A and B are shown apart, each in its own frame.
Chain A
Amino acid sequence: AQSVTQLDSQVPVFEEAPVELRCNYSSSVSVYLFWYVQYPNQGLQLLLKYLSGSTLVKGINGFEAEFNKSQTSFHLRKPSVHISDTAEYFCAVSDHAGNTPLVFGKGTRLSVIA
């Protein structure tokens, strides 16, 4: 079974500063990895996903993530954040067969400070 650990529950950062949201996963099989963003009282929206190929994945809103198999990590980064990036971010994992539902981390609350 897969599991996901998001190491930081809250990350405050000043506007235009860089940010990294950390995600580590555990799985005995090959996985797909996802980052979702949730704005207040809304559903989750896909930011980016890693399926195969290049380990650096670019997503929407200027975010990118890097898959590191040896460290079982999939950290999310943005070089310069905006106030509008304030939201909850979730890392998720599924197996290649897609036979099990997505497993989510507990989320990281990103607060961008003006």
Chain B
Amino acid sequence: EAGVTQSPTHLIKTRGQQATLRCSPISGHTSVYWYQQALGLGLQFLLWYDEGEERNRGNFPPRFSGRQFPNYSSELNVNALELEDSALYLCASSLEGAGEKLFFGSGTQLSVL
């Protein structure tokens, strides 16, 4: 069974540009979570999607947004990139939105120059 897949693996952008990160959950999982893992800051919760709707978001500015498609895959968009957006972005999926174990993808390493 395929795990959570993320693309691209690496992404290099310059300040002010937009970045789009993609995530495919494990088959049958309806919930997708996005986390930011910046150097020295640990894992910070970004967004939670379930059944196509945004259920919750962390303390990030509105330029961080996303969506979940009918097939439960998800996109994370970051507009007006800033240097401090450089981080590993991890996507995770679970069977339900409430309490099921999360399965993480390998992440997208975003570098903003």
Partners in one complex: no
